[in-house]
Amino acid sequence: DTAVSQTPKYLVTQMGNDKSIKCEQNLGHDTMYWYKQDSKKFLKIMFSYNNKELIINETVPNRFSPKSPDKAHLNLHINSLELGDSAVYFCASSLGRSGELFFGEGSRLTVL
Partner 1 sequence: KNQVEQSPQSLIILEGKNCTLQCNYTVSPFSNLRWYKQDTGRGPVSLTIMTFSENTKSNGRYTATLDADTKQSSLHITASQLSDSASYICVVSAGYQKVTFGTGTKLQVIP
What is the nearest approach in angstroms of partner 1 to the Cβ of residue 53? Answer: 12
| Nearest in space to 74 (alpha carbons), one of 44, 108, 104, 40 | 104
Task: Decide: is 60 part of the binding site for partner 1 (CB under 8 A).
Answer: no
Query: In the complex with partner 1, which residue's Cβ is closer, 45 or 72?
Result: 45
* Distance (Å, whole) CA 84 – CA 92: 22
Nearer to partner 1 (CB atom), residue 10 or residue 17: 10
Contact residues for 50 (Cβ-Cβ < 8 A; gap 6+): 30, 31, 97
Nearer to partner 1, 61 or 99 (CB): 99
Shortest distance (Å) from residue 83 CB to partner 1 = 22
